[in-house]
Each structure stands twice: as structure tokens, then as C-alpha cells.
Amino acid sequence: MTIHNADVAEVFEEIGDLLSIQGENAFRVRAYRRAAQIVRSLPHELAEMGGPGEYAALPGIGKDLAAKITELVRTGRLGALERLRRRVPSGVRELLSLPGMGPVRVHALMTKLHVKSRDELRSALSAGRLERLRGFGPALQQRLRTALAAKAASDIAKRLPLSVAAQYAEPLSRYFASIPGVTRAEIAGSYRRGRDTVGDLDVLVCAPASVNVFSTLQGYPDLREMSASGTTKAAGVLRNGLQFDVRVVPKESFGAALQYFTGSKDHSIHLRRRAQERGLKLSEYGLYRGRRRLAGDTEEGVYQALGLSWIPPELREDRGEVEASAKRALPRLVERSDLKGDLHVHTDATDGHNSLEDMVAAARAQKLSYMAITDHTKYLGIVHGLDADRLARRCEAIDALNEKLRGFTVLKGAEVDILEDGRLALPDAVLAKLDVIVIAVHSHFELPEAKQTARVLRALERPHVSILAHPSGRLLGERAPLALDFDRLLEAVHDRGCFLEVNGQPLRLDLDDVHIKAARDRGVLLSLASDAHSIDQLAYLGGAVRQARRGWASEEDVLNARPLGEVRKLLQGAKR
């Protein structure tokens, strides 16, 4: 059995939970949870690294955790976890996820009432057995009843794709901004960091203490319920199930609060530790030496006072950005305005909604100077896919259009399916006539890793192939990523002189941030693509840019940030 990083991370999460329930030192618990985070953001499989020495070189992994990783990778099991599981029954862990339930109360339930699962908690509640338990008052009992009922109805809050969350986030932010006395309202949190999915909304409101920001919140149309409300802090749930937290801060604290509320948690902790090392204290109210405030009205000021350059929100995951910022070694992240073209676009020749001419006009309006038309080729799944003849006629049409265009060039391309065995859906002779061959998996998503990897590697071996589109094949919330050996894939793409796509479709956002960074570190250029199927969808380039920024990509890392002449040369290099 191959142990993946996600498996190791899950083991560390579980150990953290079980230790906390046993009343273990909170910092030991945090070390395990932190390790889970670290392992999850590794671009390479632990199983393929050099062993304990290399593990322990990772920041946050010491001798003990390195040994545990080694045991897991070698045997697929971990003795320490099995011993813990014997002491804490399996159902107890899920009690931790109930509201108001932390390690102390879960421990009390387990030892004093022998409650070991959600079901047993439900019975204990109705039997009134919690009445005599210290720390479980009537209000908490009611919260637990509500939560247990919701869980039963499987109404569990999930992370939403960023694009879906945006539909609720933007109106909410406008609502707060419109309140008299409020000078500014921002959605912070993972939304501001541009994560591909959002678990809740963190809203930061700037207003003087005299303004009662929450007086009309009850009447907000998207509101389902309020769960907490103080003078500076409120929380609730929107109609779509999305949780939100609001904090109100005065002007002089806005920068510090924006930093704190944007997170990530690990990034903020890193900053606060850095402050502490300098004899300072950082909180959402500002950066202080004793009682004297050194910074706080702007984020820039806070970072600067800590000896750092401002760090773009997309990088704030504690993956080395603080260290890089201290050394003034952060990349200048790619921006939408750096893009000069789009190398993955569809038209109504297949499943797109607009004509070639309309797509060109829209691309020009988006300040692009070139675009590759990459309609689908014929295969089982797409009825209207192009065969060799139709593709040839399409090329003639593009040639004719290019004759007329000034200051814009259409590249001839195709999105070619990778068949189950790794062959491509069109013969090499047909592909040879095109400028851009985008290849992609659109079927047989469930192949085991060895087969899936071999399949894609075989496709990359074909001559004329340029770009691997939406490499993981994932659809947020709908389809898991393909089982692929990404290290081998990256090696092949690099050796072959090909490129990896960052697809900006809202449910794809594929590659993900971790793999973008790995590609960048390996020197593989990225194609930031809209995969537009209509003129409106050219805006998805923005999503690709945001995703690329999360992977530390700068203009130099992006194929389509280069002028057409250079792109042509690079594409030619991928042919052979």
C-alpha cells in the first residue's frame, strides 16, 4: 500500500485530536496539527523522499515526527496511534466538531458520563444526564441539541468554491459598507487570500466605537440566523449555509485587524512570534512596544515594523513567505495585466457559445494580443468534436481571419483527448499542422495511479504536444483529482519542453497552488488559461492569475505573459 501525504496528515490530525481529549499539553497537540498542515502542503510525496533525515529537515518536523512518518511510510501503520485509539473510543473524536465542544468538555463526557459518540450524546441529553455535569449549562445543552439535529440532517457546512462564496460575500460586504458611520468593509480570511474554496466569511468593518454596526443585521435578507453578537464581534449563518464572522475595529487598528483577519492562522502566528522575538506584541489592534503603538492603521506599516516587506494575501500560508519577505526575496507576483494572450479558448465550432470572430473581438477588448482557438477534437464524449476534415477547414478560416486582423493573432490549436491507453484522439500528421496542441484527460478518471500516470506520460511523448490542460482533472466539490505521480509528470513535462496549464474555470482552478509552486521551482512555464466557452468566460483568466499567484508565480513563470514571437518559439521547441 502506498502511503500518501494526505494519509500521513490525517494520522497527525487524529493524534492531535486524541491527545487533546486526553488533556495533553496544548503545544504538543499543536505540533501534531501543525505537522499535518506541513505535510499537506508538500509538493512531493514523503514516500519518495530520502527518509528520516530529510523529514526532520522540514521546519516543524523533528526527530520524533520524522520517525513516525518513517514508520507510516514503511508499514502503513503507526503503533502510537493504535495505542491512543485503545484509550479513546473511535466515536469520541467526532464530538470535538460540535459547537462549544473542546477537549475539556469532550473529556468530561467520556470519563464522567461514558458518552462515546454522537448517538450516546443525544441519548444522554434527552435523559437529562448532562444536568449534573459541571460546564454544561442549559444554553450549551440547547446548542448541542440543535447541532446534533443538524448533523443528523447532514446539514454539515462544507467549503464552497471561491466563485460560489463570492456571490454571498460581495453583497454582505456592500451591506456593511453602506451602514452610516462605516468607512470601510472588507472580506478577509481565505476569501482574500484567494483560496480555491472558502469555509466561512471573515468580514472586517471599520467604524468608530460610537456606531452600532449590528443594529440592523437581523433584517439582512441573506441571513439565516445569528449565533453570536457582542459590540465589536458578531457571527451567523447565511441562507446558503455559509458561516460568517464580523469584527468591527477603529480606523487606527484597521491594518492590524486586516492582517489578523486575513490570516492564515499559521501566518499570523508566525508574525506574532516574530513580534515577540523583538520584544513587541502584535494583536488585531496593532503592533505595540509596551503600551506604545508602533503600527496598526495599515497592513504595510505592520509588516514594515516587523522588518518585512508587505506580503500579498495569496502567499500568507506560512510556506516560507515570511522568511522570503525578511530577505526581500519575495517574487513579484504575476498580474492580470501581464497576460498578453490566452492559449485555451473554445468557439461554437464545438461546445462553445460564440463565433471565432466574437471571441477575437472579446479578447481584444480584454487587452490581449493573441489567442489560441482550441476546440475539442472528436471522441466518444463530445458529439460535435472536430475530425481531421473539419479541423482543416477551421484552420483555413483562421488563416483568412488573420489576414484581415491588425495587431492581433489567432493561433490554430485543438484540445485533444488523451485516450484511456495514452494515445491521442487525432493522428500526429493532423496535429503537425497546428500551432498549439492542448492535451487533456476527459474520461476514465478513476484509473489507479500507475495506469493514470503511464497514460498521461505516454500522451506527453507524442510529438507536437505543447500544453497539458487542467492536469489534475479535479472539479471542486464534485470530482477528486486524478491519481497521478506528479513528480514524474513534472519531470516529463520539463524534459519534453512542454507546459502546464493553470485553468481558470471557477470549478477547476487546476493546477492547485502547491503544484504550481512545484512547477515553478522546477522551471516549468505555466499557461494561464480561461478555457472560455463564451465571450464572458474570458474573465476566467482572472481566476487563473489568482491561482498562479498562490503558487508564487511571477510574470517570468508564465508562458502567455510573453510576446507572441517568443511564445511561438517556445511552442516550436515543444514540437519535435
Partner DNA sequence: GCCGTTTTCGGCCCGACTGTTTTCAGTCG
Residues 567 and 112: their CA atoms lie apart, in Å, by: 69
| C-beta closer to DNA: residue 103 or 352 | 103
| C-beta closer to DNA: residue 268 or 409 | 268
Contact 469, 502 (CB under 8 A): no
Q: What are phi and psi of 111, to 5 degrees?
A: -85, -40
Q: Smallest gap, in angstroms, from Cβ of residue 64 to DNA?
A: 4
Q: Smallest gap, in angstroms, from Cβ of residue 188 to DNA?
A: 9
- Three state DSSP letters for 514-532: HHHHHHHHHCCCEEEECCE
Pairing verdict, β 281-283 and 286-289: antiparallel
| C-beta closer to DNA: residue 86 or 404 | 86
Which amino acid, residue 171?
Answer: P
Q: What is the DSSP string of 404-424?
A: H-SS-EEEEEEEEEB-TTS-B
| C-beta closer to DNA: residue 269 or 382 | 269
Q: Contact positions toward DNA, by CB under 7 A? A: 25, 27-28, 30-32, 35, 56, 59-66, 98-106, 134-141, 143, 189, 200, 202, 228-233, 243, 245, 265, 268-269, 272-273, 275-277, 279, 281-285
Q: Smallest gap, in angstroms, from Cβ of residue 163 to DNA?
A: 22
Q: Smallest gap, in angstroms, from Cβ of residue 214 to DNA?
A: 10
Rounded to a whole number of angstroms, the distance between the first and last alpha carbons of the chain is 38
Q: Smallest gap, in angstroms, from Cβ of residue 383 to DNA?
A: 47
| C-beta closer to DNA: residue 201 or 541 | 201
| C-beta closer to DNA: residue 47 or 56 | 56
Residues 436 and 574: their CA atoms lie apart, in Å, by: 10
Q: Smallest gap, in angstroms, from Cβ of residue 30 to DNA?
A: 7
Cell representation of residue 86 = 485503545
| C-beta closer to DNA: residue 281 or 488 | 281
Q: Smallest gap, in angstroms, from Cβ of residue 100 to DNA?
A: 5
Cell representation of residue 297 = 492603521
Residues 391 and 389: their CA atoms lie apart, in Å, by: 5
Which amino acid, residue 112?
Answer: K
| C-beta closer to DNA: residue 259 or 527 | 259
Q: Smallest gap, in angstroms, from Cβ of residue 228 to DNA?
A: 4
Q: Smallest gap, in angstroms, from Cβ of residue 235 to DNA?
A: 7
Residue 119 CB: number of other CB atoms within 10 A? Answer: 12
Residues 332 and 369: their CA atoms lie apart, in Å, by: 23
Closest CA to 17 of 99, 111, 91, 123: 91
| C-beta closer to DNA: residue 98 or 483 | 98
Element (H, E) at 265: helix 265-277
CA angle 248, 249, 253 (to 5 degrees): 160
Overall residue count recorded for the chain in this entry? 576
Residues 437 and 340: their CA atoms lie apart, in Å, by: 19
